[in-house]
Amino acid sequence: MDRKNVRGFLEFVYDFYKSMKAHEITLVYEGEITHQITKAFTSLTESNMAKEEESNSVQKKVFHVMVECLQNISKHADTFGSDDFLFAGRGIFMVSKGDEEYHVTTGNVIENSKIEELSKILDHINSLDKEGLKQLYKTQMREGRLSEKGGAGLGFIDIARKTGRKLDYHFLPIDEETHFFVLTSTISRTE
How far apart CA 149 and CA 159 sit, in angstroms, is 18
pLDDT at residue 35 in the model:
82
Q: What is the pLDDT of residue 7?
A: 82
The pLDDT tens digits of the residues spanning 28-47 come to: 998 888 888 888 988 888 88
Taking the C-alpha atoms of residue 75 and residue 33, their distance in angstroms, rounded to an integer, is 9
How far apart CA 133 and CA 142 sit, in angstroms, is 14
Res. 3: pLDDT tops 90: no
Domain parsing of the chain, residue ranges = 3-188
**pLDDT value of position 82:** 44
Q: CATH homologous superfamily for 3-188?
A: Histidine kinase-like ATPase, C-terminal domain (3.30.565.10)
* pLDDT one-digit tens code per residue, 70-127: 888 877 666 554 444 555 557 899 999 988 999 999 998 889 999 999 999 999 999 9
* Among the listed residues 74, 76, 65, 71, the one whose alpha carbon sits nearest the alpha carbon of residue 105: 65
For 148-187, the pLDDT digits (tens) are 455 558 899 999 999 999 999 999 998 898 899 999 999 9
> Which comes out higher in pLDDT, residue 4 or 15?
15
Q: What integer pLDDT is reported at residue 79 of this predicted model? A: 58
